[in-house]
Amino acid sequence: MGTNNVIFLEVIEWLDPTGDKMMQRIPEQGSGEIKFGAQLVLRESQAGAFFYNGKAIHVFGPGRHTLQTANIPILNKIMSIPWGLTSPLRAEVYILNMKTFVNQKWGTKDPVAFKDSQLGLIRLRAHGQFNVRIVQPLLFVNSLVGTVSGYSTEDISGYLSDVIVSRFNDYLGEHLDSMINLPGKYDEVAAGLTKQLQEDFAHFGLELPNLYINSITPPLEVQQAIDDRSKLGLFKDLDDLVKMKSAMAIEKAAQNPGGASTGVAMGFGMMMPTMLSRQFAPQQAAASQNMQKCSSCGQQIPADAQFCQFCGTQLLVFSQCVKCKENLPPFAQFCPKCGQTVTAEPQKKQCAKCGYKNLYNAVFCNQCGERL
């Protein structure tokens, strides 16, 4: 028998050399005359959708499968004479890659608006990665592939990225009040966003196994505001932060003498007296609280002094002369000024703070400790 009369059965299989193709149609150009008894071989990571006369007949899993069509060798040539030796019985096989396609990128093309409860309306940029895989081959072919000869992740990653960004905006608005609370919540946001996106992916026979958020960044000025806020937590008040920034600016100006840095240093030099006066004002106020005024000369003297250091007036009064009101030293029997005899019975005194009486020669009140 000559070789022209030998009949060969078809073996249909496909291996992806790139690793990025999601689907391959056989034949690539137009439709095919797949013969009766053709063998379809699928790997463990593949599935095959068989279309015959324009309709989906069956979806095959891994293994070797025999395709049954009406295209019988020899008879097919005779029957196809009215159609120019081209059989009208058309068939195609769509072989789909069922593996997980990893490292797919998503991100915001333009900053998206976010209403922050503490920082106001700000614009955010975000990007990350996601994984995708086909779970319903026939739905994937009918909803996305159509009649193209091949389909890769590049054909759909842009669309899926836009879907992720759209859902990301809604999710942040519903579950996040401020960017300040975002650190440490990336996994929580990614998990919630993945759950929300499952339905969008399922419309095309796809699944979203994993989604990762690499970064969510506000504009530079907002980042600076957040940094200043975190630094402010290390200080008691804003004045301490201003002092720290002033010192840093002066140090930087000293490292780069001349030019604009000189003006900055001069400006802070003029501010320094005010800053120092604020720094030492509380100490001066505290010191003034420990002083008292001499009743004779009016000078400020320490609160615990017994005699005025300017005029020598005795400050601890045990009793007074009943005639001239001169302060009498302890155990005095005559007034040193007018010679009046000191009464044997000391006079009672009353505490100005608690009102306690029966205070005779006491310097401090027996009840509340107030200085008399």
Domains with residue ranges and CATH for the chain:
3-97 (no CATH), 101-219 (3.30.479.30), 235-279 (no CATH), 307-372 (no CATH)
C-alpha–C-alpha distance, residues 234 and 134, integer Å: 52
Side-chain-side CA neighbours of residue 21 (13 Å)? 16
Amino acid identity for residue 236 in this structure: K
Q: Is-above-0.75 flag for pTM? A: no
| Nearest by Cα to 320 from 354, 343, 302 | 343
Cis ω for the linkage preceding 27 (within 30 of 0) = yes
Matching residue, tokens 């499968």: 65
- One digit per residue, the tens of pLDDT, for the chain of length 372 reads 333 443 445 788 999 988 899 999 888 876 666 777 788 899 999 999 988 877 888 899 999 988 876 544 444 444 444 444 344 557 888 999 999 999 999 998 888 888 888 778 888 889 999 999 999 999 999 988 888 889 999 999 999 999 999 999 888 888 888 877 787 888 999 999 999 999 999 999 999 999 999 988 887 777 777 677 666 665 555 566 666 677 777 777 777 765 555 555 555 555 555 555 555 555 555 555 577 777 677 788 887 776 777 777 766 555 677 777 777 766 677 787 788 887 655 556 677 778 766 555 566 676 777 777
Please give the biggest Cα pair distance in the chain: 163
